[in-house]
């Protein structure tokens, strides 16, 4: 469990994890508030409004189990508001895992035992595989999720809790991502599997580039994870070597084929597209745009996180039609 984080730091960790998973966070109360209330919105228009109680996971020396302790709040008066999802969460900083209690079971408060226990194997499994769950003696389902996938919870909170309840303590990321069951569960599963997919890709790509645009170096939270072989091609994948961090401007320029990135990491303006834009009186700013381009993109330090030259060439071919 190691380090205990202060409340502000805990929430900063959560928000960073959600942003890494593609969420944009709009806080509805101040840094010093507890619980925190915020809106998480996603690029495809999905959003959720949440009230989050967050504590450190600590090791209970008496019961020999990890737990998060419900403190600093009257446990009988959690905020439950229609249309707002309430989360009771613990954070294990050593494993970088968030544990989430099923909020629907907590309407009645905590009674005499204001602790939520999570077995170590569940935390270990979440750290290793991304997600795990545990059903306690009260019939309550605890979901443990690796921080890079925390945004999944905020994308489809109802669906994920429903699936966790059905799985009776054996929730795995793989089970979530495999839509096997027939309706009506299928919709929930599809929602979650898409959320997992959407969170995992930016969660891998953006940190590899230190949240900077590979072309211009801008951070400012304007940076997105772009697919090199685009999703629209039908032959794309979510491997890190099919990703590149780009600011909104360069993402748009890349996807529209105005800017090309080649297998040797060189960057250029697509001459055919540039000519067409100029001829149709839509070429203003082109000279400045070209001047702003470096000769090469900035690469992740780690070789395995770098974009695949073959995919870059394929991506350039698809975008330029050559």
Q: Taking CB under 5 A as the criterion, which residues in 115-154 touch Zn ion?
A: none
* Shorter beta-carbon distance to Zn ion: residue 250 or 311: 250
The yes or no reply on residue 259 touching Zn ion (CB under 5 A) is: no
Binding string to Zn ion for residues 188 to 217, with x set by CB under 5 A, is what?
-------------------------x-xx-
Chosen residue from 100, 247, 258, 293 binding Zn ion by CB under 5 A: 247
The yes or no reply on residue 250 touching Zn ion (CB under 5 A) is: yes
- CA distances to 88, 132, 164 from 137, in Å: 18, 17, 15
* Shorter beta-carbon distance to Zn ion: residue 125 or 247: 247
* Shorter beta-carbon distance to Zn ion: residue 38 or 209: 209
Helix (H, G, I), strand (E, B) or coil at 297: coil
Nearest-angstrom CA–CA distance, 179 and 143: 19
Tokens standing for residue 157: 């909170």
Q: How many residues bind Zn ion (CB under 5 A)?
A: 5
Number of H helices, E strands in the chain: 10, 13
Of 58-66, 114-122, 159-167, 242-250, the segment contacting Zn ion by CB under 5 A is 242-250
Nearest-angstrom CA–CA distance, 90 and 303: 34
* Shorter beta-carbon distance to Zn ion: residue 7 or 212: 212
Nearest-angstrom CA–CA distance, 215 and 254: 10
The yes or no reply on residue 97 touching Zn ion (CB under 5 A) is: no
The yes or no reply on residue 260 touching Zn ion (CB under 5 A) is: no
Taking each helix axis as running N to C, give the angle between helix 157-167 and helix 185-208, from 0 to 180 degrees, rounded to the nearest 10. Answer: 110
* Shorter beta-carbon distance to Zn ion: residue 95 or 250: 250
Count Cβ atoms within 10 A of the Cβ of residue 275 and give its class: 0-12 exposed, 13-18 middle, 19 or more buried: exposed
Contact residues for Zn ion, defined by CB under 5 A: 213, 215-216, 247, 250
């Amino acid at each position: 469990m190691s380090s205990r984080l202060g409340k502000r730091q805990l929430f900063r960790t959560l928000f960073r994890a959600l942003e890494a998973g593609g969420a944009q966070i709009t806080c509805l109360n101040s840094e010093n508030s507890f619980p925190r209330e915020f809106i998480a919105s996603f690029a495809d228009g999905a959003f959720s409004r949440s009230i989050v109680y967050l504590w450190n996971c600590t090791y209970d020396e008496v019961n020999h189990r990890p737990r998060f302790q419900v403190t600093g709040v009257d446990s009988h008066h959690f905020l439950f508001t229609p249309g707002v999802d309430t989360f009771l969460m613990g954070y294990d900083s050593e494993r970088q895992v968030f544990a989430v209690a099923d909020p629907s079971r907590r309407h009645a408060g905590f009674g005499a035992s204001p602790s939520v226990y999570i077995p170590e194997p569940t935390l270990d499994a979440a750290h290793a595989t991304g997600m795990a769950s545990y059903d306690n003696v009260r019939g309550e389902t605890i979901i443990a999720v690796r921080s890079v996938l925390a945004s999944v919870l905020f994308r489809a909170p109802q669906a994920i809790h429903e699936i966790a309840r059905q799985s009776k303590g054996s929730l795995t990321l793989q089970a979530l991502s495999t839509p096997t069951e027939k309706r009506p569960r299928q919709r929930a599963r599809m929602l979650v599997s898409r959320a997992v997919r959407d969170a995992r890709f930016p969660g891998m790509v953006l940190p590899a580039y230190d949240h900077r645009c590979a072309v211009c170096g801008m951070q400012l939270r304007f940076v997105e994870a772009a697919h090199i072989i685009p999703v629209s091609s039908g032959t794309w994948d979510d491997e890190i070597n099919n990703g590149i961090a780009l600011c909104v401007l360069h993402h748009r320029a890349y996807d529209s084929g105005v800017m090309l990135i080649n297998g040797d990491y060189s960057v250029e303006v697509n001459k055919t597209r540039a000519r067409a834009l100029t001829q149709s009186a839509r070429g203003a700013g082109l000279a400045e745009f070209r001047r702003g381009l470096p000769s090469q993109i900035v690469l992740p330090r780690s070789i395995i996180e770098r974009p695949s030259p073959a995919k870059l060439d394929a991506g350039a071919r698809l975008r330029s039609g050559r």
